Amino acid sequence: MKIAKTVAELKTCLEAIGKDKTIGFVPTMGYLHDGHLALIKAAHAENDVTVLSIFVNPTQFAPGEDLDAYPRDFDRDSQLAKAAGTDLLFFPDPTEIYPTGASTFVEVDGEITKKLCGQSRPTHFKGVTTVVNILFNLIYPTRAYFGQKDAQQVAVIKKMVRDLHLPVQIIVCPIVREADGLAMSSRNVLLNPEERNQALVLSQSLASAGALYQAGEGSVKFLKDKIVSQISSMPLTCIDYVDILDFETLESIESIASPALAAVAVRFEKTRLLDNIILD
Amino acid sequence: MKIAKTVAELKTCLEAIGKDKTIGFVPTMGYLHDGHLALIKAAHAENDVTVLSIFVNPTQFAPGEDLDAYPRDFDRDSQLAKAAGTDLLFFPDPTEIYPTGASTFVEVDGEITKKLCGQSRPTHFKGVTTVVNILFNLIYPTRAYFGQKDAQQVAVIKKMVRDLHLPVQIIVCPIVREADGLAMSSRNVLLNPEERNQALVLSQSLASAGALYQAGEGSVKFLKDKIVSQISSMPLTCIDYVDILDFETLESIESIASPALAAVAVRFEKTRLLDNIILD
């Protein structure tokens, strides 16, 4: 596995690979877990070359968010990345991605970035779409792999790719969960034992809603209320949002006809966790 | 010369060309003049394949600007394009470039887009950078060719390319002028004979400032005042701006040390013209 820490090193590596190979690209912020490794394995299975980026992107964190606290362990990550089939690992400094005076942004406008995480993190997706666009420009992947855990990010990036005619196929892989159901996240390590225990309510409340939906319950309000009351029963939780939206457009719905996304964001003291389920 | 009117046709043509060829790309709004043809000839000389786009981009016109009045003549353009060495002409409808519901924008923030044309056309460069980004994504050119006549556009696009790490080289070609000095522009055809005559004051006032600079005058205020008074002597002119800025950053300067850009925008009744000169 090659490691490139600068844009110049990355370009040298990509030139050596040549233009005829298919490239599967997995952009991450590192501190890899089995969810990331599933993306790397999928990229490895479907492409000639697998490129992984590890970059804790400062522009998607607002002041006061957990940029500094975000967990990092490059040595562990590079071993896991290599074992999962990564051919080229791009691990740049922020100054490599954002040259001095950089002030160009890629922004997906509209409800799709204003709902869910966009409510409490209004500048977040502008940072995500900008950095993903930059990484696509640098790596020119055939396919890029994202986890369904970040459902809104997936919807926003798909829209950016469509609107800007980016020549890349977006592949979405299912949420990978711990044995007890907690959705894997690099931030899970920041939970204390009691928070870790209560965090199970995210996946449990979504599974309950899924069971009610499968049993015939189609009212968005009813299902949302059920999820809210189940999460609120855990005293360390603070709900950021609970919502059920059209799966593709993230538009509001009153009852579930086509596939819908039930998504939650819940804060513990220092840690904000996401989970979701597709109701189909 | 192939003509592609849809994204699908464009992709078919580009696939036939293959990935190993260098592509020189000339984005235009059509109604081609010798300035455009110089860009096409430069692209033809320096690349395996020359791609020209003709697209009057609606997102760079604000309501009330001259989108509808912008001159168009596809048959004439396609003959000129072919004769100048175009291999592939992309002539899409707006719906091909902007799919239904498109709401993703590429924006260069900061003074560089707020000065000069950015003052009277505050949404213009957002439209320009978005469409140029889309065209780069569709065509993936090795080099893209722009005219120095649109000096601020050149500076903004260079900054976008740098900030977003776009894999394209920006080539800037000198202003091409009519025999009497008027900078070539598709909008010149919209001038009536008296306006056409008075429009000569743009190039004349810039040439006068250039001569003063070469004779040792380095005061930006003095040179600007000279240009303003010369243009204002023509009764049909209405100055949009006259400015002298750092050539690369478009930052304000008081005296000329490194290369500077002297740029003017002047309105006649229905037509707004640009011209500039590099003071070096």
pLDDT of residue A248: 87
**Do B164 and A140 make contact, defined as CB atoms within 8 angstroms?**
no
CA–chain centroid gap for A1, Å, is 24
Q: Does B167 touch chain A (CB under 8 A)?
A: yes
**CB-based burial of residue A125 (10 Å sphere; 0-12 exposed, 13-18 middle, 19+ buried)?**
buried
Interchain CB contacts (distance < 8 Å): A and B: 81
3-state secondary structure of A266: strand
B19, B108, B134: residue with CB nearest A164: B134
User: Which of B59, B96, B103, B104 has the highest number of chain A CBs within 10 A, making it the mutation to test binding with A?
Assistant: B104
Beta strand A272-279 with A260-267 is antiparallel
Q: What is the 3-class SS of B50-106, one letter each residue?
A: EEEEECCCHHHCCCCCCCCCCCCCHHHHHHHHHHHCCCEEECCCHHHHCCCCCCEEE
In Å, how far is B125's CA from the nearest CA of chain A?
12
pLDDT of residue A177: 98
Q: Is the pLDDT of residue B258 over 90?
A: no
In Å, how far is B255's CA from the nearest CA of chain A?
23
CATH number at B186-275: 3.30.1300.10
What is the pLDDT confidence band of residue B248, given thresholds at 50, 70 and 90? confident
Catalytic residues of B: 36
User: Which of A10, A19, A100, A104 has the highest number of chain B CBs within 10 A, making it the mutation to test binding with B?
Assistant: A104
DSSP 8-state class, residue B20 = S
Structure-token match 């199970």, residue found: A200
Helix (H), strand (E) at residue B236: none
> pLDDT of B171-201, one tens digit each?
999 999 999 999 999 999 999 999 999 999 9
Q: Does B18 touch chain A (CB under 8 A)?
A: no
B104, B166, B167: residue with CB nearest A160: B104
pLDDT of residue B205: 98
Catalytic residues of A: 36
> pLDDT of B101-126, one tens digit each?
999 999 999 999 999 999 999 999 99
Structure-token match 């600079």, residue found: B213
Helix (H), strand (E) at residue B40: helix B34-46
Per-residue pLDDT of chain A (280 residues; tens, 9 = 90+): 999 999 999 999 999 999 999 999 999 999 999 999 999 999 999 999 999 999 999 999 999 999 999 999 999 999 999 999 999 999 999 999 999 999 999 999 999 999 999 999 999 999 999 999 999 999 999 999 999 999 999 999 999 999 999 999 999 999 999 999 999 999 999 999 999 999 999 999 999 999 999 999 999 999 999 999 999 999 999 999 999 999 988 999 999 988 999 999 999 998 999 999 999 9
User: Which of B165, B168, B249 has the highest number of chain A CBs within 10 A, making it the mutation to test binding with A?
Assistant: B165
pLDDT of residue B150: 97
Mean pLDDT of B83-87: 98
Quote the CA–CA distance of B214 and A76 in Å, as a whole number.
Answer: 62
DSSP string, A53-107: EE---GGGS-TTSSTTTS---HHHHHHHHHHHT-SEEE---HHHHS-TT--EEEE
> pLDDT of B19-38, one tens digit each?
999 999 999 999 999 999 99
CA dihedral A111, A116, A118, A121 (to 10 degrees): 170
Percent of chain B with pLDDT over 90: 98
**Measuring CA to CA, how many Å separate A103 from each of A97, B101, B107?**
12, 26, 8
The residue type found at A34 is D
Within chain B, all domains assigned CATH 3.30.1300.10 are found at 186-275
**Measuring CA to CA, how many Å separate A32 from each of A26, A38, A189, B68, B146?**
11, 10, 11, 53, 44
B7, B112, B162: residue with CB nearest A165: B7
Beta strand B104-108 with A143-147 is unpaired
Q: Which residues of chain B are within 8 Å of residue A166 when distances are taken between CB atoms?
A: 137
3-state secondary structure of A47: coil
A104, A137, A159: residue with CB nearest B159: A104
Helix (H), strand (E) at residue B176: none
**Do B164 and A109 make contact, defined as CB atoms within 8 angstroms?**
no
Q: Is the pLDDT of residue B219 over 90?
A: yes
Within chain B, all domains assigned CATH 3.40.50.620 are found at 2-173
From chain A residues 97-156, the ones with a CB under 8 A of any chain B CB are: 97-99, 102-110, 112, 129-130, 133-134, 137-138, 140
Mean pLDDT of B32-61: 98
pLDDT of residue A83: 98
Q: Options 3.20.20.70, 3.90.1150.10, 3.40.50.620, 1.10.15.40; which CATH number does B2-173 get?
A: 3.40.50.620
ipTM rounded to 2 decimals: 0.96
Quote the CA–CA distance of B84 and A200 in Å, as a whole number.
Answer: 67
